[in-house]
Amino acid sequence: MSNRSASSIRNGALTLLIALFVLAAAFMISGRLRPVDTDRPEQEVMVEEPGEAVSPSPLDQGTSPSDVVAQLERAPKRSERPASGFESPFVGVAERLKPSVVNVTVTREVSGYEDFHDFFFRGDQQSPRPRRATSGGSGFIIDDRGHVLTNHHVVEDATEIRVTLFDGEERDATLIGADPETDIALLEIGKVEASWVADLGDSEEIRIGDWAIAMGNPMGLDWTLTVGVISAKGRSDLSISGGGPVFQDFIQTDASINFGNSGGPLANIQGEVIGVNSAVSTSAQGIGFAIPINMARDVVADLLESGYVQRGYLGMMPVELDDLKKEALGLDISVAGIFVESVSPDTPAEAGGLMATDVITAVDGQTIEDVTQFRLLVAQHKPGEAMELTIIRDQQERTLLFTLADRSDYVATANPSMNNSSHSWMGLRVMALTNPQARQFDIEVEHGVVVVNIEQESPSEGKLQIGDVIAKVGGKQVHTLSDWQQITAGLGEPARAVLVMYYRGGKGISHFTALKR
């Protein structure tokens, strides 16, 4: 037999063997998957694996589509199914958070041309007329009296605030107070169910790598939940679009936070709120920031008590203590603290003996590592409280004692270009005479607050002018911005006329006017 013939026989045999194998496999598959004879009761089920019974497919038996739909509707519902042990832990967090989260809608009056016609036909003749604009954000309920925590930038300059609850109910909200320096605001919407109140956690206990769950209304998409981790703590000196708060101690997370999430809660895996969503990074994707809930708690306590936040003020410029400064001052490289760049005149810092080039190493015995920590510790003191600083001067350690002033009497705490008051009264916004920006008015009087803005069509329009210094309101003396805030907060929007004493342009003799809403 030739080699060619032998090869042909082998190839033929191999082909036949493969064909038999395929045929046998097909027979076995068809035998396992094809429905059995329904005339034989003992074969009403087909065997998928030994010991496992599988119901025949209704479609294989010629069942109508309507019968299939009916069978699917009879399938066990989620609540009827046995617990599998594989349910996402975020389901429970979402169910706990949702009732506490609210949608905040804000109306503002803005100046500008409304349309093409306005621009071309009114623009040369008169200034743009005020118009109403709306924006949105988030918030969450912190007690059954209906107090809602949100961001200052969400409700800033609002003429109307409305809140939508998770059940769809809409309510008007009252602004109790706001703190631009931490970007916190507090609203009140009236009594709510106790089960709607968020559980507040402890932001000091969080760790990098912990779960972080954000809920809010990003891009107008109501009650959206996003999940990530705590990616960093203690973030500060952030450049945030629109301007960031003065006191920054942000929690950083990769849980998606978008525009509209602002003011909503950041929670841990137990569903406890650990932060107030506040900012997104415009220069990087997937990075968001939240205000620690412990910081927010302190602010809320002040807002509930007086409508604004009182902070201690020292009056110096702190900068980081780098290695070159340590070398120049003859300090060991291991020394931790901050460097005093300058001391402002007529401040508690000057009165207490602090000097430029001093190195502050501790506040009330607590070691200082950086400028952010130092600022936060000073701000945690109330005006009038004592504060002890440990310093190094001429390589010698010393202890100095200071009595702190009210920060709002020295530093702009709202819009720096406008004022340092967290609210307007009767259409007036004012700043402290001690504020450096007040010097542009060349004021001669020593006590009072200077008017820096007057709202259109307000009770004060036409009666007071920008640059006037208000010295008395309702017979009560106004020495400082704190006096102004306390007096006007007590008066509210009075139904009866209130007498205001002022100095025109901060000079000359006093004048009087009466204001009424």
User: In whole angstroms, how far apart are CA 457 and each of 134, 162, 299, 379, 460?
Assistant: 20, 23, 32, 37, 8
Tell which of 73, 100, 134 closes a domain.
Answer: 73
Identify whether 79 is part of a domain: no
Give the pLDDT of residue 180: 87
Any idea which residues carry the catalytic annotation?
153, 183, 262
Residue 119 clears pLDDT 70, i.e. is over it: no
Give the pLDDT of residue 283: 59
Query: Are both 221 and 267 inside the same structural domain?
Result: yes
Which of the four pLDDT bands, split at 50, 70 and 90, describes residue 310? confident
Query: Are both 95 and 229 inside the same structural domain?
Result: yes
Predicted confidence (pLDDT) per residue in 267-304, tens digit: 999 999 999 998 766 555 678 899 999 999 989 998 88
Query: Are both 183 and 281 inside the same structural domain?
Result: yes
Predicted confidence (pLDDT) per residue in 353-396, tens digit: 999 999 999 999 999 999 989 998 998 899 999 999 999 999 99
Residue 9 clears pLDDT 50, i.e. is over it: yes
Identify whether 435 is part of a domain: yes
Domain range enclosing 509: 412-515
Which of the four pLDDT bands, split at 50, 70 and 90, describes residue 21? low
CA 143, CA 130: separation in Å to the nearest integer? Answer: 37
CATH number at residue 299: 2.40.10.120
The mean-pLDDT minimum among 128-142, 202-216, 236-250 falls in 236-250
How many domains in the chain? Answer: 4
Query: Are both 363 and 282 inside the same structural domain?
Result: no
Query: Are both 316 and 305 inside the same structural domain?
Result: no
Query: Are both 150 and 299 inside the same structural domain?
Result: yes
Q: Are strands 273-280 and 288-292 parallel, antiparallel or unpaired?
A: antiparallel
Q: Which pair of tokens denotes residue 177? A: 């107070």
Give the pLDDT of residue 44: 42
Q: What is the pLDDT averaged over residues 182-199?
A: 93
Give the pLDDT of residue 262: 87
Mean of per-residue pLDDT scores for the chain: 79
Tell which of 282, 309, 336 closes a domain.
Answer: 309
Q: Is 284 helix (H, G, I), strand (E, B) or coil?
A: coil
Query: Are both 33 and 157 inside the same structural domain?
Result: no
Q: Are strands 449-454 and 469-473 parallel, antiparallel or unpaired?
A: antiparallel
Identify whether 419 is part of a domain: yes
Query: Are both 395 and 416 inside the same structural domain?
Result: no
Q: Which amino acid is at 312?
A: G
Give the pLDDT of residue 422: 41
Identify whether 82 is part of a domain: no
Which of the four pLDDT bands, split at 50, 70 and 90, describes residue 493? confident
Query: Are both 123 and 235 inside the same structural domain?
Result: yes
Write out the E strands in 173-330. 174-179, 184-188, 211-216, 224-235, 250-253, 265-267, 273-280, 288-292, 312-313, 316-320
Report which of residues 411 and 328 the model is more confident about: 328
Query: Are both 301 and 437 inside the same structural domain?
Result: no
Give the pLDDT of residue 3: 53
User: In whole angstroms, how far apart are CA 242 and each of 54, 114, 281, 325, 466?
Assistant: 63, 23, 12, 34, 25
Give the pLDDT of residue 307: 77
Predicted confidence (pLDDT) per residue in 433-480, tens digit: 766 556 566 788 888 888 888 887 788 988 999 889 999 999 999 988
